Amino acid sequence: MAEVTVIESKIANLGSLVRAFETIGVTVEVSKDPRVICKARRLVLPGVGAFAAGMDELKKNELNFVLGDVVAKGTPLLGICLGMQLLLDSSEENGVTRGLGLIQGKVIKIPSVNTFGVRERKVPHIGWSAIFPSSKKQGWECSSLSTTDSGDFFYFVHSYRVSLANPKDSSAECDYSGVAITAALSKNNITGLQFHPERSGPKGLEILRAFARSDSID
Amino acid sequence: MRNIRLIARLDVKAPNLVKGVQFEGLRKLGDPNEFAERYYLEGIDEIYYEDIVASLYERNNILEIVAQTTRNIFVPVTVGGGLRTVEDVAAVLRAGADKVAINTGAIKSPEIITEISRRFGSQCMVLSIQAKKNHDDWEAFYDNGRERSGLDVIEWARRGQNLGAGEIILTSVDQEGTGTGLDIDLVRAVTDVVDIPVVASGGLGNPDHLVDVINYGNADAVAIATALHYQQFSLREFREKCLKEHISVRVPPN
Check which CATH number belongs to the domain holding A45 and give it: 3.40.50.880
pLDDT, greater one: B119 or B158: B158
Q: Does A154 touch chain B (CB under 8 A)?
A: no
Confidence band for A163, pLDDT divided at 50, 70 and 90? very high
By mean pLDDT, which of A46-55, B102-111, B225-234 is the weakest? A46-55
Give me the pLDDT at residue B2, please: 84
Tell me if residue A92 is catalytic. no
Where is average pLDDT lowest: A65-69, A212-216, B56-60, B167-171? Answer: B56-60
Q: Is residue A218 part of a domain?
A: no
The pLDDT of residue A216 is: 75
* Res B234: pLDDT: 96
Average pLDDT, chain A: 92
**Rounded Cα distance, A203 and A153, in Å:** 8
The pLDDT tens digits for A46-94 are 987 789 989 999 999 999 999 999 999 999 999 999 999 999 999 998 8
Q: What is the CA radius of gyration of chain A?
A: 16
Asked if A153 and A203 count as a contact pair (C-beta separation under 8 A), the reply is: yes
Residues in chain A: 218
B120 contact residues in A (CB cutoff 8 A): 11, 13, 48-49
What is the residue-wise DSSP string for B97-145?
Answer: -SEEEESHHHHH-THHHHHHHHHH-GGGEEEEEEEEEETTEEEEEETTT
Q: How many structural domains are present in chain A?
A: 1
Of the candidates A57, A81, A158, A206, the residue annotated as catalytic is: A81
Percent of chain A with pLDDT over 90: 76
Q: Which residue of B has its CA nearest to A205?
A: B74
> What's the mean pLDDT in B162-179?
96
Find out whether A176 and A110 touch, Cβ atoms under 8 Å. yes
Query: Would the CB atoms of A13 and B98 count as touching at under 8 Å?
Result: yes
Q: What is the mean pLDDT of residues B84-93?
A: 90
Say if A121 is an interface residue toward chain B (CB within 8 Å): yes
Percent of all residues in chain A with a pLDDT value above 70, rounded to a whole number: 95
**In angstroms, rounded to a whole number, what is the distance separating the alpha carbons of residues A176 and A111?**
11
Mean pLDDT of all residues in B3-29: 92
Question: In which band, very low, low, confident or very high, does the pLDDT at B216 lie, cut at 50, 70 and 90?
Answer: very high
Phi then psi dihedrals of residue A184, to 5 deg: -150, 145
- Residue A194 forms part of a structural domain: yes
Q: Report in angstroms the alpha-carbon separations of B14 from A51, A133, B33, B99.
A: 38, 45, 11, 20
For residue B67, count CB atoms less than 10 angstroms from its CB and return exposed for 0-12, middle for 13-18, buried for 19 or more.
middle
Q: Is A145 left (phi over 0), alpha (psi -120 to 50) or beta?
A: alpha
Segment A187-191 mean pLDDT: 95
Average pLDDT of chain B, as a whole number: 93
Q: Which long-range contacts does A69-72 make (Cβ < 8 Å, 24+ apart)? A: A69/A38, A70/A37, A70/A38, A70/A40, A70/A43, A71/A102, A71/A188, A71/A189, A71/A190
Contact by Cβ (8 Å): B149, B104? no
Residue pLDDT, tens place only, A202-213: 999 999 999 999
Q: How far is CA B225 from each of CA A126, B20, B158, B200, B231, rounded to the nearest angstrom?
A: 21, 10, 26, 12, 10
- For chain B, the farthest-separated pair of C-alpha atoms sits apart, in whole angstroms, at 47
Residue A131: inside a domain: yes
Chain B closest-CA separation from residue A160 CA (Å): 13
The nearest CA of chain B is from the CA of A45 a distance in Å of 17
Give the span between the Cα atoms of B133 and B152, in whole angstroms. Answer: 10
| CB nearest A199 (choices: B72, B95, B98) | B98
Task: Report the pLDDT averaged over residues B147-165.
Answer: 97
User: Whole-angstrom distance between the N-terminal and C-terminal Cα of chain B?
Assistant: 22
Q: Is the pLDDT score of B58 beyond 60? A: no
Percent of residues, chain B, with pLDDT higher than 90? 77
Question: Quick check: is A217 in a domain?
Answer: no
Above pLDDT 70, what percent of chain B?
Answer: 97
Q: Report how far residue A104's alpha carbon sits from residue A90's, in angstroms, rounded to the nearest whole number.
A: 9
ipTM: 0.91
Note down the domain range covering A137: 4-212
